[in-house]
Structure 1
Amino acid sequence: MTSKPLSTLPTELATELTFAATALGWLRENLVHLAGALVVLIIGVIAARLLSRAADKALTRSERLEPTVAKFLGNIIKYALWAVVLVTVLTQFGVETTSIIAALGGLALAVGLALQGTLSNVAAGVMILVQRPFRVGETISAGPVLGTVSGIGLFTTEMVQPDGLYVMVPNNELWNKPIINFTRLPTRRFELQVGISYADSIQQAREELLALAKADARVLEDPAPEVFVSALADSAVTVGMRVWCATGDYLAVSWDLTEVAKLRFDEVGLTIPFPQREVRTVAAAA
């Protein structure tokens, strides 16, 4: 271990003494600011934690907010409170916080522009979770997407298509399109269109369809089933039937009524004609 020359000791000692005197002088001048900053920091930390916990409890207990949205909003409130505490502490030292806030604002703007697509999905996810156009377990369609919702996040929504395929859809794609919810309401209307021959009895077709509707226990009495002539087509008279049923029975009712209507019409002699076209030949004049 090499020893330092004796000639350098006075210079180093003088430098250390100068630094200590400067630090002591700065401490004396800023003692009040340090004490104030320490008090503000302690009070700010306690207040931020209390307010953050209170906000989390209030958001979690709210029945109108999904847990994901409640957690997201709770984190925003927490970080905002910490930012206020930090700015207040810096102010106690006489730091000009305007430039810092402006720099943070510029940074936030740059990050927002860089993550524009991602942030739009987050905004759409928050709106979906707040407005609740659909929930987990409900079947929806939005644009080309059709399936049962299995999960809702801030960025994407997970769905299972009727054929069993898994689909992950960006929330922005769902929020910007009309959403049809097939299972939200408890009842749903089914409409059956059947064509009969012009030679057949419309009254008989009406009675047979009404009898089929009344015979099915899943068809609701209120609203009552309706049978009507919906069109006079080229080859057939189109008779329509509208019935209401529970949403969970819709597919089964639609399949069963379509099948029994065909079988019943065959039994009573009501024909469902094929498209026909009458062709006349006109002899040319001699």
Structure 2
Amino acid sequence: MEFDTAQIMTAGETMVAAASAFVVSYAFSILGAIVLIIAGYIVAGFVERSLAKTLGRMRSFDQTLCRFLSKTARYAVLILVGVTVLAQFGVQTASILAALGAAGLAIGLALQGTLQNVAAGIMLLVLKPFRVGEYVDAGGTAGTIVEIGLFATELKAIDGLYVLAPNSELWNKSVINYSRNKDRRNDLVIGIGYDDDIDLAQETMMSLAQNDERVLADPEPATFVSELGDNAVNVTLRYWTATPDWWQTRLDLTKAAKKAFDEKGISIPFPQRDLHLITAAAEVKTTAA
């Protein structure tokens, strides 16, 4: 029994000595790790707030991208702090970085489509081919932009339907922005009969444009004969308006032109076909000859 007690006491003393040596050896490492963690959280928060504040001052910089970049900077600082803390205890950081790289590669392959949308979302937010409130058409996806996110863009179609388009689809297509430029041209084409007065039709259409305040004086409106069609002579009124007035001006001028042509006796003909009948007598004569 005495032998067993002595062994236990010896083992206990050995453990205490080892623990004491461990504490003495790693006391500064533990203290340094605690200081690094506290300082890292403070610095990460400072970097996030500073970057968000700096980018927020730029009026042309999108707020969604601002939040994304500031959060990314914060997590980058925290990851750097974590690797540094592990290095304090003798952990090989090279293997950790390699493992993080492999994990990142695996996640990237698994989320390839999602990351593609994120990359496209960043490009859309930076280059700004469209903004919230603008009406666009990107490869058949058309509507008014409601929100541009990192993964997808929300649109409202012209008939009020909700449209959610992946950013990669919008980025890889040609975008027609109907709202970006302040002025927009329209060609109002109306066909008149071949027996009608072309000059009178042109004067009538020009008068309508000049009397409409929404039609811009510069560039100056113009009228011309654009085509000699199968059924009518097409007379074109070319004019410019402010972009917000384009659609309603087109509708109003089309209606006003119809009324003005009716008052002045200018016809707008229906599609016509000329039929040539060959009599039986003519066929017999042709056969005999």
Q: TM-score, normalised by structure 2?
A: 0.88
Q: Say whether residues 1:214 and 2:222 are aligned partners.
A: no
- Kept in 1: contact 2:44–2:75 (CA 8 A): no
Q: Say whether residues 1:82 and 2:78 are aligned partners.
A: yes
Give, in whole Å, the separation in 2 of the partners of 1:41 and 1:250: 60
Give, in whole Å, the separation in 2 of the partners of 1:20 and 1:59: 55
Task: Give the RMSD, CA atoms, in angstroms.
Answer: 2.3
C-alpha change, 1:42 and 1:252, in structure 2 (3 Å) is closer
Give, in whole Å, the separation in 2 of the partners of 1:233 and 1:133: 39
Hey, what does 2:110 align to over in structure 1?
114
User: Quick one: which of 182, 198, 201 aligns to 1:202?
Assistant: 198
Q: Say whether residues 1:145 and 2:141 are aligned partners.
A: yes
Give, in whole Å, the separation in 2 of the partners of 1:22 and 1:253: 90
- Kept in 1: contact 2:47–2:70 (CA 8 A): no
C-alpha change, 1:196 and 1:76, in structure 2 (3 Å) is same
Hey, what does 2:151 align to over in structure 1?
155
Count of equivalent residues: 282
Give, in whole Å, the separation in 1 of the partners of 2:131 and 2:29: 53
Runs of 5+ consecutive residues of structure 1 not aligned to the other structure: none
Deviation at 1:33, TM superposition (A): 4.5
Hey, what does 1:124 align to over in structure 2?
120
Hey, what does 1:276 align to over in structure 2?
272
Hey, what does 1:101 align to over in structure 2?
97
Hey, what does 1:48 align to over in structure 2?
44
Deviation at 1:64, TM superposition (A): 2.4
* Between 43-52 and 192-201, the greater mean CA deviation after superposition: 43-52
* Between 45-54 and 166-175, the greater mean CA deviation after superposition: 45-54
Percent of aligned pairs with the same amino acid? 47
Give, in whole Å, the separation in 2 of the partners of 1:270 and 1:137: 41
Hey, what does 1:22 align to over in structure 2?
18
Runs of 5+ consecutive residues of structure 2 not aligned to the other structure: none
C-alpha change, 1:6 and 1:183, in structure 2 (3 Å) is farther
C-alpha change, 1:19 and 1:244, in structure 2 (3 Å) is same
Deviation at 1:61, TM superposition (A): 1.9
The amino acid that maps onto 2:132 is V
Hey, what does 1:176 align to over in structure 2?
172
- Residue deviations 1:30-49 (CA, integer Å, cap 9, x gap): 45545555555555444433
User: Quick one: which of 67, 70, 75 aligns to 1:71?
Assistant: 67
The amino acid that maps onto 2:238 is R
Deviation at 1:75, TM superposition (A): 0.8
- Residue deviations 1:167-191 (CA, integer Å, cap 9, x gap): 2222222111111221222221121
Hey, what does 1:262 align to over in structure 2?
258
Q: Say whether residues 1:189 and 2:204 are aligned partners.
A: no
SS at match of 2:231: coil
